[in-house]
């Protein structure tokens, strides 16, 4: 591994907190060890009720806290931070607050992006707490795979449509070209991120990463899955308590992506079939 262990000065780490203070200290501790200035770690808080604890954690590690007046969702909160980044921040690293960043990850991804301006985004290996690998680095869902995955992923996890959607990129040991990487951990050139106007804020949560990969690909950028470096994902406490609400948001986001990708009157029947498929999945999940 050729990662530089000297913390980079031109990288900002951005996370979004929504009642996530219980896990924020672990994240900030790992983040502070990977950048030259702790003030380049930004916590965008989506009007959390536990903001007092978040303030204490940010002060402890010297992180910059951006307090939002309302919950803008994941992409919207990140966009707000990027709008106000100081001059000299040429790379941004977006990461969930319920994660721990490995020491060499930031520098490695920064150097990779710097090596080729056509690399639009890169994401590391994402480890679960038990050491298993989360399937980041996936394909843009085709109509067939999207419908099959939507209907059967929960009741038949090994179904062929979900397998094709996940792809096998996450099983690789070296960097590989993919269609998109998980939004729980993505690195961008700041210039590229701004050229795309950031994340589509029509996605409150979920699918903003798929949409970003899709838009990058349409413009000729490459998206890379980089298993040489990693983060460990602990799991979101703030979403566990509202699982049913999150499922609906996930389905709404999936439908938005389909409507954007397959727009126009000729695709109306297809959109209708997918809408039925998503509704079926929600019904199956509840029963």
- pTM (predicted TM-score): 0.87
- And the tokens for 273? 């079939």
- Which of 146, 154, 158 is closest to 277 using CA atoms? 146
What was the pLDDT predicted at 285?
Answer: 65
Dig out the tokens for 258 from the structure.
Answer: 């389909």
Contact 136, 170 (CB under 8 A): yes
Residue 239: what pLDDT? Answer: 46
Task: Please write the tens of the pLDDT for every residue from 219-278.
Answer: 999 999 999 999 999 865 444 445 667 778 877 888 898 888 888 887 787 777 777 777
Q: What is the mean pLDDT of residues 20-34?
A: 94
Backbone angles phi, psi at 58, to 5 degrees: -65, -40
Q: Where are the beta strands (DSSP E) in the chain?
A: 11-17, 41-45, 64-67, 91-95, 99-101, 119-128, 176-178, 185-189, 222-233
Per-residue pLDDT at 3: 47
**Interatomic CA distance for residues 239 and 173, integer angstroms:** 31
List Cβ neighbours of 44 (8 Å cut-off, separation of 6 or more).
14, 15, 16, 17, 66, 68, 77, 78, 80, 81
The pLDDT, as a whole number, for residue 241 is 45
Domains and CATH numbers, the chain: 11-286 (3.90.550.10)
pLDDT-derived band at 85 (thresholds 50, 70, 90) equals: very high
The residue to which tokens 């960097």 are assigned: 175
């Amino acid at each position: 591994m050729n990662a530089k262990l000297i913390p980079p000065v031109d990288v900002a780490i951005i996370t979004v907190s929504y009642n996530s203070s219980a896990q924020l200290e672990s994240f900030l501790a790992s983040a502070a060890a990977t950048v030259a200035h702790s003030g380049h770690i930004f916590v965008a808080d989506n009007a959390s009720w536990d903001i007092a604890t978040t303030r204490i954690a940010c002060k402890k590690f010297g992180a910059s806290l951006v307090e939002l007046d309302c919950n803008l969702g994941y992409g919207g909160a990140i966009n707000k931070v990027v709008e106000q980044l100081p001059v000299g921040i040429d790379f941004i690293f977006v990461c969930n607050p319920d994660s721990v960043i490995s020491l060499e990850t930031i520098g490695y991804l920064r150097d990779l992006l710097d090596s080729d301006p056509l690399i639009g985004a890169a994401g590391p290996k994402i480890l679960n707490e038990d050491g298993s690998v989360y399937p980041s680095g996936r394909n843009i869902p085709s109509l067939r795979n999207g419908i099959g995955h939507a209907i059967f992923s929960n009741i038949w996890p090994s179904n062929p449509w979900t397998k094709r959607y996940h792809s096998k990129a996450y099983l690789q040991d070296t960097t590989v070209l993919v269609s998109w990487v998980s939004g729980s951990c993505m690195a961008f050139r700041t210039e590229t991120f701004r050229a795309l106007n950031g994340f589509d804020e029509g996605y409150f949560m979920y699918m903003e990463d798929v949409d970003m990969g899709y838009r990058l690909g349409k413009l000729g950028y490459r998206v890379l899955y980089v298993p040489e470096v990693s983060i460990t994902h602990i799991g979101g406490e703030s979403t566990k308590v509202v699982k049913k609400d999150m499922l609906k948001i996930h389905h709404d986001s999936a439908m938005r992506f389909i409507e954007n990708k397959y727009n126009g009157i000729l695709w109306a029947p297809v959109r209708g079939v997918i809408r039925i498929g998503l509704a079926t999945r929600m019904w199956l999940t509840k029963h």
